[in-house]
Amino acid sequence: MNASRKPAVVLVSGGMDSAVVLAIAREAGFDAHALSVRYGQRHTSELDAAARVANALGAVAHKTVHVDLRSIGGSALTEDGIAVPTDDDGHEIGVGIPSTYVPARNTIMLSVALGWSEVLGGTDLFCGVNAVDYSGYPDCRPEFIEGFEQLANLATKAGVEGSRFRVHAPLMRMSKADIVREGLRLGVDFSQTVSCYQADAEGRACRHCDACRLRAQGFDEAGVPDPTRYVDGAIG
């Protein structure tokens, strides 16, 4: 770790958005500490990708914390009896809150990131939430980020003693195409990332869930080849 660089905790899921955020934090001059959360999601391919991304993009450390949200359920990502929405069921992305919403997930992950940041002596958290091309999750809105930042400064020893925590959400107002372009500018290898809600053990994507559709839309609108590997054997 470089003593001249401030530490920042970056939530890294293994998907394309968080990879870009990690690259942004590094470019901004932070010592990026990558944090992933194994919360009981349907597969671990995304977490495998998170380790690759953290290493490739120069994180000074990478931790994976275990939080068993599967014991609570209530989401298509943590409860096998709830189906993942796909493009053949007629739903429109961004209309209503889909079954892939995981109750309190971002609150929990940012809370863990906040704890690690306080231990590191840092005051900066980074996450990849987005309110443009997204699935309609309530914990991806600007109001949530602003609210959590206020909470961080009320709920911590560092905050009470005068430090000021900041939650950075640099992708909040960007389209998926913008995110693709920014990632390419920063040297992100999107082929290392996994976004699919129901990827197989090798990280190959289904092509049909909301995450796959938004990802493909981003590459298409950016006018660049899609490096995603799909279960049907195709790339892009």
Range 7-222: architecture per CATH: 3-Layer(aba) Sandwich (3.40)
- In angstroms, the CA 142 to CA 47 distance is 26
Is the whole model's pTM more than 0.75, yes or no? Answer: yes
Domain residue ranges in the chain = 7-222
Per-residue pLDDT at 135 exceeds 80: no
- Find residue 31's DSSP bridge partners: 7
**20-79 pLDDT, tens per residue?**
999 999 999 999 999 999 999 999 999 999 999 999 999 999 999 999 999 999 999 999
Q: Which residue has the tokens 């040297």?
A: 187
- In angstroms, the CA 211 to CA 218 distance is 11
What is the dihedral sign for C-alpha 68, 72, 75, 81? positive
Percent of the chain past pLDDT 70, that is, above it, reads 96
Per-residue pLDDT at 133 exceeds 70: no
Mean pLDDT of all residues belonging to the chain? 94
Could you tell me how far CA 206 lies from the centroid of its own chain? 19
